[in-house]
Every structure is written in C-alpha cells, then in structure tokens.
C-alpha cells in the first residue's frame, strides 16, 4: 500500500512519501538554500552556514538514503528484526533531514522583528505577548541538554500554539504530534564556530533572522 503525509513549504503543501513507507521511491536530495551562505551575517556567519548545510545536512540525506535502501530490502524479505534494528537510524537521519529542511526556510536575511496577522494574534492568545513567547522559546532552547531543537508547534487537536524541545534529531511531529512551525537548531554545529559554548548569545542573535513570513505561511497552511 502507498501512504503519504503533508510537508508544508513556504508556498504550498506538498505530498511526500514518509520514511520506509514505499518499496519504490525517489532518493532524498539536499535542498538548495533560498539565500547565500553569507546572507545571514553578522548573526550567523558564512562558514557556519556552509558547513551546516553542505556537510551536516548532506550527511543526514546521504545516510537516510542508505538506511532506506536497507529498509526496503528488509521489507522485501519480511525481516522484521532488521526493520526494527533500522528504526533508530531512520529516526535520526530522517529527523535530521526533516528538521533542517524546515530550519533553512525559517531563516531569512530580511527576517527579524515580529510576526503579523493571524500568527501574531495566536501568539498573544496562547502566550500573553510576543515578548513572553520569545522568552519562553529562548529558555526552552537554551535548556536543551546536549544536542537538540527548540520548537514552536501547532497542536491541531487543541487548536493552539505550543512550545516544545526535542533531543538530538527527533522530528517534532513524529515524536510529539505537534505540527512544526518554527525550529531553532541548538546543536553545537549550528553556532560553535562563531559563538563558542555560549548558546544564549547565538539564541539572542538568531531572532534577527527569523523568517516570520514563512512561519506565518506554515501556520495558515496547518489550520486548513
């Protein structure tokens, strides 16, 4: 059988085959950035962006393709033990690909400031004010132990925004059910070359390049 889930891009919802769902599939590819590596300076420097995108994200994509090929073979053989043993690698590399694909679109050289319209109203409704929301998401992201992500997600069942943290490359929707709107990568590779071990400085800077137009589009799409 064939099954799908919706992945929301900046412009539209795309129908995508989930990990391990299809026996016959196209390989995953590294998405192009919608801006140059140096475009987010001085907040995130070009060296970080180049390594983060062309090395780290590319590795997740390559490893995901390898593990999906092994998973396809295990499915064909009916080898449930092999399928189960491959789940951690699917989760880690698949999550890394999903998370970073969202992350790049959440950033923009024309970003910063505050959101407008429905998203801003929802933030005020669910967090009291934009300042409170920003403080809470920053605190959750700073507090991630080791490597992981801070997220603003949408709880479709409750019809409200929610902040969450995920460890390592755990994908937000696959592990919490929340639809991802805004993700902040707090792995050291996202900031160490520029901010060393001072994660709070990186988090202070990243608000200057948040692409609220993209986040607002994702919010509007997930409410449909």
Residues 56 and 129 in one domain: no
Task: Give the pLDDT score at 157.
Answer: 95
Residues 71 and 91 in one domain: yes
Average pLDDT over residues 78-103: 97
Does a structural domain hold residue 34?
no
Residues 68 and 138 in one domain: no
Task: Give the pLDDT score at 131.
Answer: 98
**2, pLDDT greater than 90:** no
Supply the pTM of this predicted model: 0.87
For residue 177, CA distances in Å to 11, 115, 149, 162 come to 22, 24, 15, 11
**Domain encompassing residue 82:** 46-106
57 marked ligand binding residue: no
Does a structural domain hold residue 97?
yes
Task: Give the pLDDT score at 213.
Answer: 97
Residues 122 and 218 in one domain: yes
201 marked ligand binding residue: no
**110, pLDDT greater than 70:** yes
Average pLDDT over residues 99-115: 98
Residues 154 and 214 in one domain: yes
Dist. CA 77–CA 191, nearest whole Å? 43
Average pLDDT over residues 90-109: 98
Residues 150 and 199 in one domain: yes
Dist. CA 143–CA 194, nearest whole Å? 20
189 marked ligand binding residue: yes
97 marked ligand binding residue: no
Percentage, residues of the chain above pLDDT 70: 89
pLDDT tens track for 158-214: 999 999 999 999 999 999 999 999 999 999 999 999 999 999 999 999 999 999 999
Q: Look at residues 172, 178, 186, 189 and name the one whose alpha carbon lies nearest to residue 138.
A: 186
Number of domains in the chain: 2
Residues 132 and 205 in one domain: yes
Strand-pair partners of 160 = 155
| pLDDT level of residue 36 (50, 70, 90 thresholds) | very high
| pLDDT level of residue 25 (50, 70, 90 thresholds) | low
CATH number of the domain enclosing 184 = 3.55.40.20
Does a structural domain hold residue 193?
yes
Residues 54 and 144 in one domain: no
CATH number of the domain enclosing 51 = 1.10.287.990
Task: Give the pLDDT score at 129.
Answer: 98
């Amino acid at each position: 059988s064939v099954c799908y889930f919706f992945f929301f891009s900046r412009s539209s919802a795309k129908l995508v085959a989930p990990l391990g769902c299809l026996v016959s599939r196209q390989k995953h590819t590294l998405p192009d950035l919608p801006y140059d590596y140096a475009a987010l300076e001085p907040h995130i420097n070009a060296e970080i962006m180049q390594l983060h995108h062309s090395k780290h994200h590319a590795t997740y994509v390559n490893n995901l393709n390898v593990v999906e090929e092994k998973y396809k073979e295990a499915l064909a053989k009916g080898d449930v033990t092999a399928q189960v043993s491959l789940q951690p690698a699917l989760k880690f590399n698949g999550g890394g690909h999903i998370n970073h694909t969202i992350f790049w679109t959440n950033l923009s050289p024309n970003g910063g400031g505050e959101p407008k319209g429905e998203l801003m109203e929802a933030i005020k409704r669910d967090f009291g004010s934009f300042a409170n929301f920003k403080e809470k998401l920053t605190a959750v992201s700073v507090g991630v132990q080791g490597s992981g992500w801070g997220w603003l997600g949408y709880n479709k069942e409750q019809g409200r925004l929610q902040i969450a943290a995920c460890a390592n490359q755990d994908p937000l929707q696959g592990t919490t059910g929340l639809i991802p709107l805004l993700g902040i990568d707090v792995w050291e590779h996202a900031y160490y070359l520029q901010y060393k071990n001072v994660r709070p400085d990186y988090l202070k800077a990243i608000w200057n390049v948040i692409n609220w137009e993209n986040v607002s589009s994702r919010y509007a799409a997930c409410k449909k």
